[in-house]
Amino acid sequence: MKKALITGITGQDGSFLTEILIAKGYEVHGIIRRASNFNTDRIEHLMGNKQLRLHHGDLSDSANLNKLISTIKPDEVYNLGAQSHVAVSFEVPEYTAQVDAMGTLRILDAVINHYPEARFYQASTSELYGLVQEIPQKETTPFYPRSPYGVAKLYGFWITKNFRESYGLFACNGILFNHESERRGKTFVTRKVTVGLSEILHGIKKESLKMGNLDAKRDWGYAKEYCEAMWMMLQHSSAEDFVIATGRTYTIRDFIERSARYCDWEIVWEGEGVNEKGIDKKSGRVIIEIDPRYFRPAEVELLVGDASKAKKELGWEAKIDLDELIDIMMKHDMKDASYKKVLQLSDNS
């Protein structure tokens, strides 16, 4: 039975990847952080599965990583653990560098010292392109990160490539563009919108949804498909870096308008700058307002990826388009909101 070790197993991607690997017959080892409360919601349904083993650990702790690699001897290591929020990285830049940059070095070092036969996947990101130097972005596009997160991930990218070139480690960077799902953290823009709109419709959230820059453009895909691509990279005949993207880009405004249709709202935009509002045309209700708190010190305005290398060499391509993604997320969050409403009503009765 093949063994995999996943850092970040409790995250969006970690949970999908665990399901994929279990279905393929792997023994999956995951590193979880000690928290004051349960942080395993996304993998709760897999608890008790004989193929899943969890270990306490942290990307800031070399001794822990060395011990895990030397005892587990995993065939594949997926380094998904990270402080993954771009806006938060401006508030905790040193911590972000410790985990996202140095953490990558720590686990690579543990692999090379204790089990260099392992194949290594690094969760690289379209945030490396930041102030884009080429449209669309592909593997050869120069990087220009725009946040402490992007800069830390730049180190992660290069140190992974350096271990491949220096020590012959089978190490790949997956340069993944934004990927979302019903498991996406609720402070990322897509999920904030799908949860926010669902809760406004059900009367759980009384006030409007406060948003930042509506004009940024993102290439959004479905997380589950992107996790399949991670596995495909490690089965490839040679260790290489791959862009994973849909090749289509939309503004945050587009995402809001399309999600709002689920609530039977047609959003029209009135006003400008921080005074802009998204209003339901029929009822005149204000659904969206701008709060400058969500603006970033430096913004990534446009991302759109060219995943033709992944299609040619891995046979991977995105199948779920934006409307299908919104369908998955809105269905899930509308159901959640209606449960919450029922609980609220029974609490009040």
Q: Which two tokens stand for residue 9?
A: 């197993």
If you search the block for the tokens 């993998």, which residue do you land on? 43
CA 307, CA 313: separation in Å to the nearest integer? 10
Residue 219 C-beta: closest distance to ligand F7E, Å: 9
Binding window for ligand NAP (CB under 6 A); candidates: 29-37, 133-141, 191-199, 277-285: 29-37
- Could you say which of 125, 194, 246, 249 is catalytic? 125
- Name which of residues 124 to 143 contact ligand F7E (CB under 6 A): 125-127
For the record, the structure tokens of 346 come out as 């029974």
* Contacts (CB under 6 A) with ligand F7E, residues 176-205: 177-178, 187-189, 192
Q: Mapping DSSP to helix (H, G, I), strand (E, B) and coil, where does residue 271 land?
A: coil
Does the annotation mark 125 as catalytic? yes
Q: Which of 14, 145, 150, 305 binds ligand NAP (CB under 6 A)?
A: 14
What region, left, alpha or beta, does residue 299 occupy, with left being phi > 0 and alpha being psi -120 to 50 degrees? beta
- 187 sits near ligand NAP (criterion: CB under 6 A): no
d(CA 242, CA 229): 9
130 binds, among ligand NAP, ligand F7E, none (CB under 5 to 8 A by kind): none
83 binds ligand NAP (CB under 6 A): yes
User: Given the complex with ligand NAP, which of 121 and 262 has the nearer CB atom?
Assistant: 121
Rounded Cα distance, 23 and 68, in Å: 23
Of 222, 239, 243, 246, nearest in space to 310 by CA: 243
Residue from 11, 130, 145, 278 that binds ligand NAP (CB under 6 A)?
Answer: 11
Stretch (H or E) spanning 336: helix 322-348
Site for ligand F7E in 200-229 (CB under 6 A): 211-213, 216, 218
Q: Which two tokens stand for residue 305?
A: 């990826």
Strand pairing partners for 290? 211
Residue 282 neighbours by CB distance under 10 Å: 9
Supply the minimum distance, in Å, between the C-beta of residue 294 and ligand NAP: 17
For ligand NAP, the closer CB: 153 or 202: 153
Identify which of 135, 172, 143, 161 has the alpha carbon closest to the alpha carbon of residue 306. 135
27, 76, 127, 225: the catalytic one is 127
- 161 or 192, CB closer to ligand F7E? 192
Q: Which of 24, 39, 134, 268 forms a contact with ligand NAP (CB under 6 A)?
A: 39
Nearest residue to 177 (alpha-carbon basis) of 235, 122, 124:
124
Residue 319, phi then psi, degrees to nearest 5 = -110, -30
- Rounded distance, CA 82 to CA 75, Å? 21
Q: What is the DSSP string of 31-58?
A: EE---SS---GGGGGGTT-TTEEEEE--
State which residue, 22 or 328, has the beta carbon closest to ligand F7E.
328
Is 84 a binding residue for ligand NAP by CB under 6 A? The answer is yes
Taking Cα atoms as reference points, which of 164, 124, 165 lies closest to residue 145? 124
Of the candidate residues 4, 52, 59, 193, the single one contacting ligand NAP (CB under 6 A):
59
3-state secondary structure of 278: strand
Query: Which of 46, 86, 169, 197 is in the footprint of ligand F7E by CB under 6 A?
Result: 86
From the list 28-36, 140-148, 160-168, 232-240, the region that binds ligand NAP by CB under 6 A is: 28-36
Contacting residues toward ligand F7E, per CB under 6 A? 84, 86-87, 125-127, 177-178, 187-189, 192, 211-213, 216, 218, 252, 294, 296, 299-300
Contacting residues toward ligand NAP, per CB under 6 A? 7-8, 10-14, 31, 33, 35, 39, 58-60, 80-84, 99, 123, 125, 176, 178-179, 185
Residues tagged active-site: 125, 127, 149
